Amino acid sequence: MKNLFRINLLLLSSLLLYNCNSANKSKSSLTGWNFNDPKYGNYIKGTSFQGQKIPDGMVAIEGGTFTMGQVQDDVMFDWNTTPRQMHVRSFYLDEAEVTNSEYLLYLQVTKDIFPPEEEKYKNIYNAALPDTLVWRSSLGNTELLSENYLRHPAYADYPVVGVSWLQAVQYCKWRTSAVNMKRLIDRGILNNVLENDSIRNFFDTDLYLEDPNRLFEGDSTVYKRGLPDNRARKRGQPRPPRGSFTGRQVTAQDGILAQKFRLPTEVEWEYAAKAVVENREYNNVRGRKKYAWNGKYTRDRSTRYKGDQLANFKQRQGNYSGLPGWSDDGSDIPIKVKSYPPNAFGLYDMSGNVAEWVADVYRPIIDTEANDFNYFRGNIFTKKLIDSTGQVVVVGESANATIKYDTLPNGKIVPLELPGEIKYVPISKDDAFMRRNYRIASNLNKNDGDKNSSRHYDLEDDQFNKEPRMYNSPINQKDSITGKLNQYDTKKRRTLISDKTRVHKGGSWQDREYWLDPAQRRYLPEYMSTNYIGFRCASDIVGALSYKKRTARNPSRN
């Protein structure tokens, strides 16, 4: 009986191994070559893609068309919200704003990787810190919030504020690598470097895909095991030592790593906030939405919660929450996320609580004549910097490398790039030569200062300069840390709009209900922060708009 059991177990194991190898050795339908087969060069084909796993804390937003900029009230009459038809691709969006506790995790990791007591890292951690002094008021007793809002556990699940657009972008970048490092650890490809104090746990997704051996200061022992590569060991080649890394590293073709996290574009944010899917009737949308929820009132009309406010906003002058015991919206400052019902997409606080940064550079008019597909103003096309040996350049990799910093107009010192990242540079004219879809690297001010974007273009002084600009906001020259002079610009200006102004959307706890309309838009310089602007992250969905199974339109006729 024992021998029979062993024979059956051996046959079963052989059958499973054969099936696994057969599944891996799929065939090219055009050449007849086998994929993942040593006899055919062992060329890789990614596994069958069944759709992405929804990232933690996110909601899948199915793309489609909608009317962007269609507001219920437009008392300003400034062409800032002119309605236009726009198509949006599917994407993921955080179901709530990034909270204090989540941002504090980022700060702790940053402090651990780049200790501020080390001279070369001393400004990196400080550059990530939110400005807690945004709560101060010349004529207000708000010092308690300056001291407690960010770090006190009472506010742990409140949306983080005091974060500039630049800081929000850096958080999204860090989150990408943090999520992907966790995925490699869960797969057993990477040892848990978080429990090893002797290893600097800096991880960069781009560098991992380019050359994993240049991560973790070249320590190859952090890699536990690889994906099967089916490579046969050559005759005479010794067996790898026990516990050494075998197989291959994860590539983009495997579909294991998460797509990059980023700030949502303005069109994505507005589309997600409006959630017109609940107003859809067959192939049309009924009416226009004034808020993230359906209806034209800010109070709940359901029987159970009738009269309750549906968002956190300023109700009138000197009235931030309502009368105690009645007409109370729950908080006079930002409130704990998910305190109000979600919209039709399952997103919380898209109207009220805090306004939110989006990725776009601000311009008064959205140029839909140039693009009505996934519109975004803010593209700077870059490429990896390659050295003379043909390898990518990694920031701070050489022993004598120094970290480059910039001094912002408000005097804050920020790193231009972090040690351990791949260095990117703008594309050159040769890279864009004979292209029809783009001509230059920076497209922030596309169509500014030309005949198509200025009514009196021939009267603009800037037209005679080397780089004509429609908007003459201050140009801040990059200064060294010691050479920066904090002084106000004295030249007369026509506008505050520049390539450094970014859009923020949604009303906040200190805004009147007029600004709760998702189509309303405002702007602020990217290096400034307030006590009413937070952010949430987005990520791209690759492949189909939706992986829902399509059914016949008229099944009874089939």
**Domain harbouring 72, CATH code:** 3.90.1580.10
Residue 131 lies in a domain: yes
pLDDT band at 45 (very low <50, low <70, confident <90, very high): confident
Q: Is residue 145 a part of any domain in this protein?
A: yes
Q: Is residue 313 part of a domain?
A: no
Q: Is the pLDDT at 527 greater than 90, yes or no?
A: yes
Share of the chain above pLDDT 90, in %: 49
Q: What is the mean pLDDT of the chain?
A: 84
Q: Within a domain: residue 220?
A: no
Which is more confident, 433 or 550?
A: 433
Q: Is the pLDDT of residue 327 over 80?
A: no
Q: Which range, of 219-228, 364-373, 534-543, averages the lowest pLDDT?
A: 364-373
- Is 540 a member of any domain? yes
Containing structural domain, residue 269: 59-159+258-291+336-378+502-507+515-551
532 in any annotated domain: yes
Return phi, psi of residue 465, to 5°: -80, 175
pLDDT of residue 358: 98
Mean of pLDDT values over 103-127: 94
More confident residue, 548 or 154: 154
CB of 231 closer than 8 Å to CB of 338 = no
More confident residue, 471 or 253: 253
Measured CA to CA, the distance from residue 225 to residue 203 in angstroms comes to: 17
- pLDDT, position 357: 98
* pLDDT computed for residue 63 by the predictor: 92
Confidence grade of residue 2 (pLDDT, cut at 50, 70, 90): low
Q: How far apart are CA 329 and CA 352, in angstroms?
A: 11
Q: Does the residue 40 lie in any domain?
A: no
Structurally, how many domains does the chain consist of? 1
Q: Cα 347 to chain center, whole Å?
A: 16
Phi (first) and psi of residue 180, to 5 degrees: -70, -35
153 falls within a domain: yes
User: What pLDDT score does 278 carry?
Assistant: 87
Tokens, residue 171: 């958080």
pLDDT digit string, tens, across residues 400-428: 778 888 888 888 999 999 999 999 999 99
**pLDDT the model gives residue 253:** 86
What SS3 state is found at 405?
Answer: strand
The pLDDT tens digits of the residues spanning 169-228 come to: 999 999 999 999 999 999 999 999 988 887 888 999 999 999 999 999 888 889 988 888
Reported confidence tier of residue 557, pLDDT bands at 50, 70, 90? very low
> What is the percentage of the chain residues whose pLDDT exceeds 70?
80
d(CA 285, CA 278): 9
Distance between CA atoms of 279 and 269, rounded to whole angstroms? 18
Q: What is the pLDDT of residue 475?
A: 58
Question: Residue 206 carries which side chain, given as an amino acid letter?
Answer: D
